[in-house]
Structure 1
Amino acid sequence: MEHYFLIKQLHMTAATLSISFFVLRAWWSVRESPYINARWVRILPHLIDTALLGLGVTLMVLLSLWPWQLPWLGAKLLALLAYIGFGTIAIKRGPTPQARAIAAVVAVAIFAYMVGAAVRHSPLSWLS
């Protein structure tokens, strides 16, 4: 428990980096910029998101919080799956720039929902 605040801060920092870099990559994808194909652009998100997930799991274990016990955590993890799905459409699987842009907006909205669920400890997110 002594490292809780450090792990939580690192988790929040990784989340900020993740969404910031996602928005940049989505912009490049919609604009069909050649930057989207740079090697570091393809690798860095995996490193950030692995750290984000690892820190989240560490917090769960450290606090003995389980998704089936806390509705907000279960909702957040389900939203994570939706975020990943829309994120892949926004970055590379969307057939047109317009489809990628719509998927990016949906993905960012889902990310905002996850932040609200974590802050409010409610599956209603910001509405609670």
Structure 2
Amino acid sequence: MLKHLHITAAYLSLLFFILRAFWSLREAPILQARWVKIVPHVIDTALLTFGVLLAITLNFWPLPAWLSAKIAALVIYIVLGTVAIKRGKTPAIRTGFAFAAVVVFVYMLGAAIQRTPLSWLG
């Protein structure tokens, strides 16, 4: 059950990120809506909570290499995402960072599925 909740939250996080990146590129006013600013935090808190509970339940300590790589990639994903949605000065910069963030997300997905830091290459 935790695994499915974690996976669902991960896909919701990605889908909402892509939507917000699209709005950012179009400079859509909806990005300033209160709910648009709150929902990502709710989804990502659920994602992190389910991930931590899953790691505890599966007794992932010390952390396996693939999980450590996934956590490091998560930090990179967050940084790229903030530039893609908020901090990028031009649409071209925001587009590049959004694309890079999605690539990092796909890496994290592969690391989790393949259970190797090599992600899809493993």
Runs of 4+ in 1 over 6 A off after TM superposition: none
Q: Please, which of 25, 30, 33 is the counterpart of residue 35 of structure 1?
A: 30
The aligned counterpart of 1:64 is: 59
SS of 2:45's equivalent in the other structure is helix
- Counterpart residue number, 2:15: 20
Shift of 1:20: 0.2
Instruction: Tell me which residue corresponds to 1:123.
Output: 117
Q: Distance in 2 between matches of 1:116 and 1:41?
A: 28
Report the equivalent of 1:3: none
CA offsets 1:4-59 (integer angstroms, 9 cap, x no match): xx110000000010000000000000111111111100000000000000000001
Aligned length: 122
Query: TM-score scaled to structure 1, two decimals?
Result: 0.93
Structure 1 residues 48-93: Cα deviation after superposition (integer angstroms, max 9, x where no partner): 0000000000011111103x54110000000000000000000101
Consecutive unaligned residues in structure 2, runs of 5 or more: none
Residues of 2 paired with 1:108 and 1:74: CA distance? 19
Would you say 1:80 and 2:74 are equivalent positions?
Answer: yes
1:104 aligns with 2:82: no
- In 2: Cα distance, 1:10 partner to 1:69 partner: 21
TM-score (norm 2): 0.98
Flag structure 1 segments of 5+ consecutive residues without an equivalent: 1-5
Identity %: 56
